[in-house]
Structure 1
Amino acid sequence: MKISYKWLKDLIEITETPEEIGKLLTGTGLEVEGIEEIESIKGGLNGVVIGEVLTCEKHPEADRLKNTTVDVGLPEPLQIVCGAPNVAAGQKVIVATVGAVLHPTGSDQPLVLKRSKIRGALSEGMICAEDELGIGTSHDGILVLETDLPNGTPASEYFGMSSDYLIEIGLTPNRADAASHYGVARDLKAVLNRPVTLPSVAQFVPGNQSDIQVEVRNEEACPRYTGLTISGLTVAESPAWLKQRLQVIGIRSINNIVDVTNYICHELGQPLHAFDIDKITGKKVIVTTVPGNTPFVTLDGVERKISDGDLMICNAGTDGNPEPMCIAGVFGGLTSGVTNETTSIFLESAYFSPVWVRKTAQRFSLKTDSSFRFERGTDPSMPVFALKRAALLIQEVAGGTISSDIIDIYPNPIVDFRVEIKYRNIDRLIGKSLDKDLIKTILQSLDIQIENETDTTFTAIVPPYRVDVQREADVIEEILRIYGFGQVELSASMSSDFLSDFPVNDPEKLKLRVAELLVSNGFHEMINNSLTKPEFQATLGESLLGNPVKILNYLSEDLSVMRQTLLFSGLEVVAYNANRRQRDLKLFEFGKTYHHVNEKYVEKERLAVFLTGNFQQESWFEKSREVVFHDLAAFVNQVLTSLKIREVEKQEADKNIFKYGITLIANKKPVVSFGLLQTAVTKKLDVKASVFFADFDWEYLLKQYTAAVEYREVPKFPEVRRDLSVVVEKKITFEELRQIAYRTEKQLLRSVNVFDVYEGANLEGKKSYSISFILQDDQQTLTDKVIDKSMQKLIAAYEREFEAVIRK
């Protein structure tokens, strides 16, 4: 964003240099990326002075040239050959002396004045025309001045030239409030404790004609729409002061009306648009959407297809249907804008929804000064003031009369943001205790008012133009950036703080997450009765917690106790489906179990998972395959991973329930047991097929879950893999080998994996594990010497603990 230093000085008293202002703005978060001196006329007309033509005679060798002598304040007059038809003795003129550098209009190359001979006559400079000075386009003749200034006076003094400074700010997306000179001045007001003075609109006098009617049909997209009409104006070139102001910030002058709307946009941050009244069909402005694929030609001459999600400024149309004139807040139309023939205008000033403008601008890939501001959020209280300011400026530069009163459609005023603040949190987040009076002074300088103040809290009333200040942390950031980051001393030890609330885990959301995981893998959810047969649970005896909870007034013996496990109710579902030839099953249930323990009744939440039958169906390219243990293990691992349970220990599952299986332990407590059910268990329900079952302690899993994200830096140094073939007694499990490995090599060992197991006649009573070890050092690249040392430690541990034989 580009800011003019002189323009800024019109709004707030500034005695600081542009560089000092740049440092102040950067300190408030408006990072100044560059400061550049801008001359109103390129080159500053150095070496160009006022002169007086003393003599003017025809050149003897050229009919169109004249030899002149010109007094430029030097002891001797200059001899200059001039080809202008209007040069004459006695004239006051502009003279470029030898060595001056001019930048003619329309030329990219500078013109350096040198002493020369033209057709044999000496020429010691040039009497200049308007275009040769770079101040206009006319080349009809030399500039003839009406002035009493003495000869030799610098031309820059005659033209009232003065340099300005362009301050370029890298505006972050959240600071929409600073997208104008007024917005920047507000930050300086807070830092310098000086008032901001807006231009007066006291001279605004509205007319009483009703030239244009306005209807807003979409109040969501256009919460506020204002406008007025100006009649009898003359579209022409803008005055020099207006063109220079826009030129400094890189905006090309178009005409006096369009230039004023651009001027107000960059002064106040309020985009405006002017419509030619004669081109508003039906003398009615309608703010609405139009049917999709409606063609519309924008100012750049490109036809675009409007969607029904684009807000348009329309007229009444000739057939009763609104006819688009402008894409609201983004780009004007080719046929409704101001031209040299325009004599009356309807001037629009509105507040459009940032969401609507952003979507439209992205849809058409149009980024304009208007959309830049609207899509970030403008000040809803500014449209009327901006309208008055623009109307007075248009009267000043184009004449005319304000012929109507202001139309202001604002059915649902946008209210201030109310933010509850705790003084304690201000101190915590800033890292320094600030005086309460200082805090209030800073906030009030930012137009943030204070209500309901107590010793510990207050309510901050934030104006709606500060769309980025809606939370307690935002208000505290405002205090800090004005107080100054550099004024907060660094403590002896570094620390951080935060205001965010970390909500308690929602059990239902976590349950839904796991349920969706299982369903996406082909599982069906069950909901079973909590009452069951006593004989089912009696077969498991001490494997179940406590005693069964008996029903006093049960209706039948089959439903006389509360279930202590989800196992049997799930097997009943498996049996029911198998009896109806539905044998390939993936089932799960979230349910409660009930226990009578030490004279107390205990209720627990569990998750049960069942797999039986074929895991995959037969097809033309693959045979069917029955469920195996590792299919269930994969789903168990997915559930635990989704709940961020990673560090687990393993032990053998309860033999009363599982033919073979594993119990996983986290933080010294079992979280899940899974494996192949004992035939004695499945026969209780007449289930003949093999059934794999997993029983999760859902309550404990919820307690272990944390929403915090763990991050570990990507290692800089490579990992190394080494393999061993270890022969041990058949009873030794891989888990035992894994645990010994981690206990032996704690520094470098990253993972242990078994990739092959062999049992054969030549290994009677024993088996061979092929194990891979991943080694890595976070500080350096591992050498062969270090790797060999680690592997020897592992081999020695296996030989010592298990009498292992390492196969070469």
Structure 2
Amino acid sequence: MKISYNWIKQFLQTDWDATKTGELLTDLGLEVEGIETKESIKGSLKGVVVGEVLTCIQHPNADRLKVTTVDLGEGAIVQIVCGAPNVAVGQKVPVATIGTTLYDDKGEGFQIKKGKIRGEESHGMICAEDELGLGKGHDGILVLKDSLLAGMPVSEVFNIETDQIFEIGLTPNRSDAMSHFGVARDLKAGLMQQDIYLELISPSVSDFHVDERTLKIEIEVENKELVPRYCGVTITDVTVKDSPEWIQKRLKAIGITPKNNIVDITNYVLHELGQPLHAFDAQKIKDNKVVVKTLAEGTKFTTLDGVERVLSAEDIMICDADSSPLCIAGVFGGLKSGVTEHTNSIFLESAYFNPVSVRKTAKRHALNTDASFRFERGIDINMTEYALKRAALLIEQYAGGKLGSDISDFYPEKIEDFQVFFSYESSYRLIGQEIPKETIKKILASLEIKINSETEGGLGLTIPSYRTDVQREADIVEEILRVYGYNNIEFSHKLNTSISFDSNKETKIENIVANQLSSLGFNETMANSLTKPAYTHLSENINEEANIAMLNPLSNDLKVMRQSLLFSGLESVAYNINRKNTSLKFYEFGKTYHHYNNKYQEDKHLTLFVTGERTKESWSTISKTSDFFYVKGIITVVLRRLGIDDLKTTPTKQDLFSEGITLSLGKMKLVEFGVIKQTILKEFGIKQEVLFADFNWDTLLKVTGNKNVKVSDLTKFPSVKRDLALLLDQKVEFKELYNLAFQSEKNVLKEVDLFDVYEGDKLPEGKKSYAVSFLLQDDSKTLEDKQIDKIMQKLQQTFEKNLEAVLR
């Protein structure tokens, strides 16, 4: 939220430095995220002075140019070539001197330099209105008053204003500070703690009176819960034109582009007092009646931006007598009922709409306006009539209007100010420090919180209506503390904390796997559990009916709970690849959410994403792309770390993969992994291969819980390695040889590895050669050659007998 310091000074006559003011506002809870210096005209016309045209003759080499001599004051006379048709001797004109920077309508600067135009020297530039940013005129140069002195800075002539703009990160609870008046009110309370007492000047509406009761528009509200208060007044004989310069300056300072006097005044009052207003062209309201109601689901309505929107049956609408919609209440006006240059009478609206209803409507239609920003946070219901009078008086003054009716005010149930009891003891308990009672009373008075009664133990208080967030005793304590100053609360140099150790078995297993994956170069990610409904259509295995939808989604991209961790993970992959980080290894522990048979179900998963190179590029390593078997190796290592082996491998039934497998233990599926289909990757703009693994974590925990880990001492005795080169039938698999070896020698044989396979024309047909290594080790003694030879002979005989192997 942008707040103008010059605007604040209309309510508080302070000369405090902007930086100090920003620090004080931050201490008060209105965090100032930045302070920007803003000029009413960019560059503040530095280097532009008043010049007097002394001579003006035709350019010898150009019909449309003239050569002038201009007095810039103090005897400085320069020659300037000018193309304006209205330049003449004796005029006082604005001159941009050499070195001056001027800015175009896009804010881009250009510097005035000495130069030659068609052979004649030119030492500056006589400026038109638009070249200085003072208007849009470009028919000729700007002619100034004759009484001005040559050499006088033009910035003094046009009263160029410099402002400091506070960017305030307003928290949702501080609806009272959604205006310049509200910020000034808070600043006043803060300055009082600095012993600076200033009067808060509020705009006067005492001159409000009806001129002629010539146009009355009746108001009808169908639902007082959705619309607790609705005020309106008519103004006739208005002239729609540009708003006065001072209003335009205020609006431009906070980033609002002026439109016309009527619209600008409603915007001005909104940012001044925090009360949204809306002006309707009264001639476009049928039968002079406004009906505030909801319309049928699916009703179409075109808003001011020219977009046709489909209404919900919950949207509050401003309609005319025959229920034709004019405006989405509290959010956006209608195209057909807005103020135009032909408007001569208006109906001015000021209302309080239900905050929840406005928020839902704004989100439903993806509209975030200044009005909805304030309505959905809760405005001051007692500000509606005052703000209406303030705007009406400004329209009378700057649009020549006349009040055509009394104020119509629908306010069936007046909302009384909230009452709360404040205990001194509770204050001490919550703050941890005793603040003097007189200081507390002073702070409460500065916040316009009235003291109704006082006892030894506390105060009976009335909360002003604009403080919608102060409803409890704890809220009062917070108010006192923020104005008193958190920095003024003493704290102990002793730090007390409690340390807890998580002995949860599931957490321990998760940490084991996380540490292992991190050591393998993976990075842990955490994605949002909310995702796009459209992702459901990327797989036939994901049932759209099982989606869990949000009742009040933040956006269409965060509308349903995810049924798979794949798509949010691919978003992260795409984000990194788009930023030239193409070699990725991610893992995520997360849940999926499903709605089956009127029941809700959560499943926990561990997912892996691998793409690009296995290792970082280096002079000492050969670049190798991650592939299916690399990922399979990582999965196998993780499962073995959890004590899970002897897995069954079957082709996957998931349509997410172009190729993939499922690893199961009995009938329980543990992991599905493979290469993601190109059609899915295309949806995320990913052009390189991505491998994905999905662990059913809940099932893994069940299986892991039944495994006992055996620990044994490292043997003290050396191992021995022997090799055999065997000629085997081509149908024989290494697995058969592996099993026979351990059946033959159970005690000493530790490992059997296949390190070479040969099939070629030098071998008999139907044969192949296996080179197999055997690791032998006795845990109780050192093996001798005789014992080793005996074991190897036994293994050879076993292979010859069972596999018809021949020693090569």
Superposition TM-score tier, normalisation by shorter sequence: 0.5 to 0.7
Q: Please state how far the C-alpha of 1:453 moved relative to its aligned partner.
A: 2.5
Report what 2:288 is aligned to.
283
Report what 2:229 is aligned to.
224
TM-score (norm 1): 0.61
Q: Does 1:257 align with 2:256?
A: no
Report what 1:203 is aligned to.
207
Q: Please state how far the C-alpha of 1:387 moved relative to its aligned partner.
A: 0.7
Give the conservation status (yes or no) of the 8 Å contact 2:92–2:148: no
Distance 1:15 1:27 in 2: 19
Q: Does 1:310 align with 2:309?
A: no
Question: What amino acid maps onto 2:273 in structure 1?
Answer: L
Corresponding residue SS for 1:144: coil
Distance 1:264 1:37 in 2: 23
Give the conservation status (yes or no) of the 8 Å contact 1:721–1:774: no
Give the conservation status (yes or no) of the 8 Å contact 1:722–1:773: no
Alignment of 1:612-691 (within 5 A): none
Distance 1:784 1:52 in 2: 102
Deviation readout 1:328-358 (Å, 9 max, x if unpaired): 0000000001000001000000111101101
Q: Please state how far the C-alpha of 1:149 moved relative to its aligned partner.
A: 2.0
Moved more, 213-222 or 444-453: 444-453
Alignment of 1:404-419 (within 5 A): 404-419=405-420
**For structure 2, which runs of at least 5 residues remain unmatched after alignment?**
193-197, 499-637, 644-700, 716-778, 781-808
Report what 1:32 is aligned to.
32
Deviation readout 1:425-449 (Å, 9 max, x if unpaired): 1011111101112112211211212
Distance 1:191 1:495 in 2: 32
Question: What amino acid maps onto 1:486 in structure 2?
Answer: N
| Higher gyration radius (CA) | 1
Corresponding residue SS for 2:395: helix
Q: Does 1:428 align with 2:429?
A: yes
Give the conservation status (yes or no) of the 8 Å contact 1:719–1:774: no
Give the conservation status (yes or no) of the 8 Å contact 2:96–2:127: yes
Report what 2:299 is aligned to.
294
Distance 2:268 2:361 in 1: 24
Deviation readout 1:31-89 (Å, 9 max, x if unpaired): 00111111111111111000110000001111100010000114231100000000010
Q: Does 1:66 align with 2:70?
A: no
Give the conservation status (yes or no) of the 8 Å contact 2:296–2:312: yes
Q: Please state how far the C-alpha of 1:450 moved relative to its aligned partner.
A: 2.3
Alignment of 1:8-157 (within 5 A): 8-105=8-105, 107-157=106-156
Deviation readout 1:307-345 (Å, 9 max, x if unpaired): 11000011012xxxx111000000000000100000100
Report what 1:438 is aligned to.
439
Q: Please state how far the C-alpha of 1:784 moved relative to its aligned partner.
A: 9.8
Give the conservation status (yes or no) of the 8 Å contact 1:421–1:459: yes
Report what 1:325 is aligned to.
326
Question: What amino acid maps onto 1:176 in structure 2?
Answer: S
Q: Please state how far the C-alpha of 1:459 moved relative to its aligned partner.
A: 2.7
Give the conservation status (yes or no) of the 8 Å contact 2:642–2:704: no
Report what 1:163 is aligned to.
162
Q: Please state how far the C-alpha of 1:719 moved relative to its aligned partner.
A: 14
Q: Please state how far the C-alpha of 1:277 moved relative to its aligned partner.
A: 0.5
Q: Please state how far the C-alpha of 1:116 moved relative to its aligned partner.
A: 0.6
Distance 1:448 1:496 in 2: 37
Q: Does the C-alpha gap of structure 1 residues 419 and 59 become closer, same or farther in structure 2, counting only changes over 3 Å?
A: same
Corresponding residue SS for 1:772: coil
Distance 1:70 1:753 in 2: 94
Distance 1:185 1:400 in 2: 30
Distance 2:423 2:430 in 1: 11
Corresponding residue SS for 1:479: helix
Report what 1:772 is aligned to.
709
Q: Please state how far the C-alpha of 1:162 moved relative to its aligned partner.
A: 2.1
Report what 2:240 is aligned to.
235
Report what 2:727 is aligned to.
none
Q: Please state how far the C-alpha of 1:774 moved relative to its aligned partner.
A: 11
Q: Does 1:400 align with 2:401?
A: yes
Alignment of 1:302-381 (within 5 A): 302-317=307-322, 322-381=323-382
Distance 2:44 2:452 in 1: 54
Give the conservation status (yes or no) of the 8 Å contact 1:754–1:772: no
Corresponding residue SS for 2:382: coil
Q: Does the C-alpha gap of structure 1 residues 22 and 50 become closer, same or farther in structure 2, counting only changes over 3 Å?
A: same
Distance 2:340 2:354 in 1: 29
Question: What amino acid maps onto 1:189 in structure 2?
Answer: K
Distance 1:226 1:138 in 2: 41
Question: What amino acid maps onto 2:66 in structure 1?
Answer: K
Q: Please state how far the C-alpha of 1:94 moved relative to its aligned partner.
A: 0.6
Report what 2:220 is aligned to.
215
Q: Please state how far the C-alpha of 1:363 moved relative to its aligned partner.
A: 0.8
Give the conservation status (yes or no) of the 8 Å contact 1:753–1:772: no
Q: Does the C-alpha gap of structure 1 residues 192 and 755 become closer, same or farther in structure 2, counting only changes over 3 Å?
A: closer
The number of residue pairs the alignment matches comes to: 516
Moved more, 273-282 or 13-22: 13-22
Corresponding residue SS for 2:202: coil
Q: Please state how far the C-alpha of 1:205 moved relative to its aligned partner.
A: 1.2
Give the conservation status (yes or no) of the 8 Å contact 1:54–1:89: yes
Question: What amino acid maps onto 2:315 in structure 1?
Answer: D
Question: What amino acid maps onto 2:327 in structure 1?
Answer: C
Distance 2:308 2:35 in 1: 39
Deviation readout 1:533-592 (Å, 9 max, x if unpaired): xxxxxxxxxxxxxxxxxxxxxxxxxxxxxxxxxxxxxxxxxxxxxxxxxxxxxxxxxxxx
Q: Please state how far the C-alpha of 1:421 moved relative to its aligned partner.
A: 2.3
Distance 2:218 2:711 in 1: 78
Q: Does the C-alpha gap of structure 1 residues 752 and 773 become closer, same or farther in structure 2, counting only changes over 3 Å?
A: farther
Corresponding residue SS for 2:49: strand
Distance 2:411 2:61 in 1: 76
Give the conservation status (yes or no) of the 8 Å contact 2:23–2:32: yes
Distance 1:423 1:58 in 2: 86
**For structure 1, which runs of at least 5 residues remain unmatched after alignment?**
498-717, 724-750, 757-769, 776-782, 786-805
TM-score (norm 2): 0.61
Question: What amino acid maps onto 2:28 in structure 1?
Answer: T
Q: Please state how far the C-alpha of 1:418 moved relative to its aligned partner.
A: 2.1
Distance 2:236 2:267 in 1: 20
Corresponding residue SS for 2:430: helix
Alignment of 1:485-634 (within 5 A): 485-494=486-495
Distance 2:703 2:218 in 1: 79
Q: Does the C-alpha gap of structure 1 residues 486 and 773 become closer, same or farther in structure 2, counting only changes over 3 Å?
A: farther
Question: What amino acid maps onto 2:150 in structure 1?
Answer: N
Corresponding residue SS for 1:262: helix
Q: Does the C-alpha gap of structure 1 residues 233 and 173 become closer, same or farther in structure 2, counting only changes over 3 Å?
A: same
Report what 1:185 is aligned to.
184
Q: Please state how far the C-alpha of 1:721 moved relative to its aligned partner.
A: 7.6
Distance 1:83 1:275 in 2: 46
Distance 2:711 2:387 in 1: 69
Q: Please state how far the C-alpha of 1:466 moved relative to its aligned partner.
A: 1.3
Q: Please state how far the C-alpha of 1:456 moved relative to its aligned partner.
A: 1.3
Report what 1:740 is aligned to.
none
Question: What amino acid maps onto 1:243 in structure 2?
Answer: Q
Question: What amino acid maps onto 2:88 in structure 1?
Answer: A
Distance 2:65 2:421 in 1: 81
% same residue: 55
Distance 1:142 1:183 in 2: 44
Give the conservation status (yes or no) of the 8 Å contact 1:55–1:69: yes
Give the conservation status (yes or no) of the 8 Å contact 1:201–1:389: yes
Give the conservation status (yes or no) of the 8 Å contact 1:238–1:259: yes
Q: Does 1:469 align with 2:450?
A: no
Deviation readout 1:740-763 (Å, 9 max, x if unpaired): xxxxxxxxxxx999977xxxxxxx
Corresponding residue SS for 2:339: coil
Moved more, 372-381 or 139-148: 139-148
Question: What amino acid maps onto 1:458 in structure 2?
Answer: L
Q: Does the C-alpha gap of structure 1 residues 752 and 299 become closer, same or farther in structure 2, counting only changes over 3 Å?
A: closer
Q: Please state how far the C-alpha of 1:496 moved relative to its aligned partner.
A: 10
